[in-house]
A and B are shown apart, each in its own frame.
Chain A
Amino acid sequence: MPDLSTFKFATTHEWVRVDGDSATIGITDHAQSQLGDVIFVELPEVGARLEAGAKFGAIESVKAASDLYAPVGGTVSEVNPTLSDSPEVVNNDPYGAGWMLRLRDVGEGSVELLDEGAYAALVGD
């Protein structure tokens, strides 16, 4: 298990790691486990502007499709290029190689964010 002390968690099961005015976003281990085999991740274009709480894409598993929401706002500076051909990395390494987005110019606002312990309590781990 990676060190998640620098991660924050949305109640919609995305994680965010903010570093100055940039941020990295993905989905939690609990989320990937509930979804099962990830088949397809739909991500925004680089340069897209996202408000905190806005839908930024969708994730599709064999079982179901789910929308993805930005825990913080900013401008998309990078999307994970690995996910188009190997979306299963979201299952295998949700907090590392399975990251989804990088944002720059991250604003002050955010959705309600939980720390590691509060999120673990939320999902009953």
Chain B
Amino acid sequence: MAARTPLYDRHVAAGARMTEFGGYDMPLQYTSIGDEHRAVRRRAGLFDLSHMGEVRITGEDALPTVQRLVANDAARLVVGAALYGVMCNESGGIVDDVVVYRDPGGYMFVVNAACREKDVAWMREHLDGAGLDDLSDSLALLAVQGPEAMGIVQSLTSTPVEAIPPFHFVDGQVAGMRAAISRTGYTGEDGFELYVDSENAPAVWDALVEVGTAKGMLLCGLGARDTLRLEAGLRLYGQDMDDATDPYSCGLGWTVKLDKPDFIGRDALAELDPRNPPCSFIGLRMPGRVIARHGHTVLADARVVGEVTSGTFSFTLGYGIATASVAPDVSREAPLFVDVRGVAVAAEQTPLPFYRRPKGNG
């Protein structure tokens, strides 16, 4: 049976349609994915992300261990800062994509729910004397995203949240409960992710709902989370990448720092040409409302050149969008087609991200 987050009862009471994701029974949508998506772009949305895993690396030897585990450079992280990166295996394939926070006592990795067991086992194998705490069950994660997110969170805390730079966090209180207030998200909007003790999650959720509803905030499920992240050009592990994908081939070469101390997978990645990796990761604009989906074949000159990794309908732009992994010899100008259930549909190559939030939107 799928696990439940501390907010499961709230979701059911709100009438959510639930779905299994990463081993958890999670809200897919409360009302409609389109309405929830637009609420985040225009006002605000509240997400329960408590399925995500949180794993801390602690002790005096924490930094060398973190440096071995991630391809990005954790040495530049000051206390209160975070970075996005990938953990690679020896072949350079991606074990998981993670956000790493530095706190006074160590480093906290936020990992994908479906990867948690695999990641914890992998991290334990490479501890180099550091300690490991899997906090996933004791921490809940709530995200408030959108132009109104700052006002909503600020009204429940004395911490000046506007002063928290992007990809930083501050320990404080929200609705009277201990919380790490992080200026991060997965939607392309400004917003906050709040790490709170599991037993306090319902109280914080209720307070956010009360304040947020007055500002047009909607409860948002994983459906809107997926359409929002894809518009923003953000990757999804298991779809856009997996253990066999190197970071360059999914457009995450910017997170690989070959000149930092050695890390797992470095030798394999050093063999690759970052500007000419085994695959190119591209954006596609579909005609009208056609939706390309994960696994659909990409064609050029009637030749199979790759596969769609993620695809959806962009509620903001009003047309279908997709990302695809294609052969490196496919030129930027090449006319491409996607095999959508037996029909070759012309797709236009377009830069990522599909959507950037307008200046001043939060």
Contacts and interface: CB of A to CB of B under 8 A. Distances in A.
Nearest to A39: B313
B33 A36 contact: yes
A36 B291 contact: no
A62 B288 CA distance: 14
A62 B341 contact: no
Contacts of B341: 58, 65
Given A36-B223, A39-B313, A58-B341, A65 B32 contact: no
Interface in A69-95: 87-88, 91
Contacts, number: 38
B291 A60 contact: yes
B253 interface: no
B223 A63 contact: yes
A63 B291 CA distance: 10
A40 B291 contact: yes
A116 interface: no
A39 B293 CA distance: 13
- By size class, the interface of chain B is 10 to 19
Given A37-B32, A37-B33, A62 B223 contact: yes
Contacts of B310: none
A81 to B, nearest CB: 15
Interface in B308-323: 312-313, 320
10 contacts: A36-B17, A36-B33, A37-B34, A39-B320, A58-B341, A62-B33, A62-B312, A63-B28, A87-B289, A91-B32
Interface of B: 17, 28-29, 32-34, 223, 227, 288-291, 293, 312-313, 320, 341
